[in-house]
Amino acid sequence: MNDNEAKLFAMLRRRYKPPEWALLSQVRNGTGFAHAQTRTADAIAMNTYPSRGLSVHGFEFKAARYDWLAELHHPEKAEDIAMMCDYWWIVAEADVVTDGELPHGWGLLEAKGKRLYTKAEAACMCDTGILRERLMDRAFVAAILRRVLETESDEALIRAAELKGRDEGYREGKERQASMMGSDSRRLAELEKGVAEFTRASGVELDGLSWNGKSIGTAVRLVMTLQARGYGGLLGTLQRIRGDMAAEADRFEKLEKELTEAAAS
């Protein structure tokens, strides 16, 4: 089943839902060589409610115009399996089938968006003039049952794959969580070690209550700035300032002496 057919079958599943309907894909008209010509319906749906006749619906998918035109040239191919069903439908994309092209009694389900809409109702095959037994032959029943078994196997494999994927995803998630927690634990240990070293060196307890973070931060920045510039340069600057202050003191004493002498004369 290609992507277009898979999309149409998904729409069909939304329309023919269990438990009222049993829907199967790719059902042949028999097993082995029970029939001279082997034909396959893209899907078969059987109603499971006796009150609604236990009707069997067959479906042929047409996603392209050229595919449908090829079908019209050889409608007998579909009739080989359509005669096993109560109703026969073409399931097609929009504009694939135009008005007046459907063989007598065939129905048309047209895809629009994500849904199928009835463009033409299918007539019961018993009313179309086709001579057939009302009961399905055993070869067709065997083909349906075989497809049921194959579908169950496919679904079992899908469920197993889903469970495996879920388990692997869960395990990877736990491993990633453990790795992240280990990394966070290491970072926390390093932070606690740094705080302890700071407390021992500064005498400041970083308990969040008794220390002034802004003041300590300013002091630390000043010390680091002085350290970056070099203590030797700072000492020279202080010595120059002291020399300048001494010279100013000498000038002040001289001026004071002159003023004292002037006042005494």
Q: What are the pLDDT digits (tens) for 193-224?
A: 777 777 777 666 666 555 566 667 777 776 66
Residues 257 and 193 placed together within one structural domain of the fold: no
Phi and psi torsions of 33, nearest 5°: -120, 40
Domain boundary, last residue among 136, 168, 196 = 136
Provide the pLDDT confidence category of residue 136 given band limits of 50, 70 and 90: low
Residues 23 and 139: beta-carbon distance below 8 Å: no
CA atoms within 13 A on the CB side of 221: 6
Mean pLDDT of 50-61: 86
pLDDT computed for residue 61 by the predictor: 95
Residues 127 and 12 placed together within one structural domain of the fold: yes
pLDDT computed for residue 134 by the predictor: 45
- Whether residue 164 has pLDDT greater than 80: no
One-letter identity of residue 1: M
Measured distance CA(126)–CA(87) in Å, rounded: 9
Residues 124 and 174 placed together within one structural domain of the fold: no
Higher pLDDT, 162 or 26: 26
Measured distance CA(112)–CA(180) in Å, rounded: 48
Residues 48 and 20: beta-carbon distance below 8 Å: yes
Q: How remote is the C-alpha of 49 from its chain's centroid? A: 38
Residues 128 and 74 placed together within one structural domain of the fold: yes
- Domain carrying residue 110: 3-136
Residues 185 and 108 placed together within one structural domain of the fold: no
Higher pLDDT, 75 or 132: 75
Measured distance CA(222)–CA(256) in Å, rounded: 40
Q: With CA atoms as reference, report the closest residue to 140 among 79, 57, 81.
A: 81
Residues 195 and 226 placed together within one structural domain of the fold: no
Sheet holding 87-93, edge to edge: 21-28, 40-47, 56-62, 87-93, 107-112, 115-120
Q: With CA atoms as reference, report the closest residue to 87 among 118, 121, 111.
A: 121
pLDDT computed for residue 120 by the predictor: 95
pLDDT computed for residue 131 by the predictor: 44
- Whether residue 72 has pLDDT greater than 90: no
Neighbours of 69 (CB within 10 A): 13
Share of the chain above pLDDT 70, in %: 68
Domain boundary, last residue among 170, 193, 210 = 210
* Number of domains within the chain: 3
Measured distance CA(260)–CA(265) in Å, rounded: 9
Q: Give me 90's structure tokens.
A: 């073409």
Provide the pLDDT confidence category of residue 133 given band limits of 50, 70 and 90: very low
Residues 20 and 123 placed together within one structural domain of the fold: yes
Measured distance CA(5)–CA(12) in Å, rounded: 10
Mean pLDDT of 56-82: 87
Residues 58 and 145 placed together within one structural domain of the fold: no
pLDDT computed for residue 165 by the predictor: 67
Residues 195 and 243 placed together within one structural domain of the fold: no
pTM (predicted TM-score): 0.51
Measured distance CA(141)–CA(85) in Å, rounded: 11
Q: In this predicted model, what pLDDT tens digit does every residue of 3-23 receive, in sequence order?
A: 888 899 999 999 999 888 888
Q: How remote is the C-alpha of 176 from its chain's centroid? A: 19
What is the residue-averaged pLDDT of the chain? 77
